[in-house]
């Protein structure tokens, strides 16, 4: 899982840098910062979630209620962070959403590569 997590993080970072440069060219500083902030938030969330999945695999009996509670807190934390970023008005809202969308794209591409290698 660690190698997969690292590859997804690298893919996300490279895609986010390219998208941030393009957004900065077309939309200015706030668009560039929005993409970077969204991608950083998505990566932090992904690393936290994958660490929790690794930790759950170690224990004998996963605690469903604890898992659901921590997932709810994680999503609430992401929502609060996005709201605070919107309130600062230093980040373009569409660019922030595009930055958040970089991680799912990297996950799909990496998953398809792994599926092709395994087939």
Between CA 63 and CA 106 the distance in angstroms is 30
Distant-in-sequence contacts of 23-26, Cβ < 8 A, 24+ apart: 23/92, 23/95, 23/98
Domain boundaries, the chain: 2-118
pTM exceeds 0.85:
no
CB-hemisphere CA count at 13 Å for 76?
6
Span 2-38, pLDDT tens digits: 888 899 999 999 999 999 999 999 999 999 999 999 9
pLDDT in tens, 62-82: 566 666 777 788 889 889 998
- 116 pLDDT higher than 60: yes
């Amino acid at each position: 899982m660690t190698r997969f997590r690292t590859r997804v993080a690298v893919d996300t970072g490279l895609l986010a840098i390219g998208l941030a440069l393009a957004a900065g060219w077309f939309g200015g500083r706030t668009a560039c910062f929005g993409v970077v902030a969204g991608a950083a938030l998505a990566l932090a969330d992904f690393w936290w979630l994958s660490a929790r999945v690794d930790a759950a695999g170690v224990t004998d009996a996963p605690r469903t209620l604890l898992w659901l509670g921590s997932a709810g807190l994680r999503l609430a934390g992401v929502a609060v962070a996005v709201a605070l970023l919107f309130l600062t008005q230093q980040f373009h809202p569409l660019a922030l959403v595009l930055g958040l969308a970089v991680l799912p794209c990297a996950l799909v591409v990496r998953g398809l590569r792994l599926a092709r290698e395994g087939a």
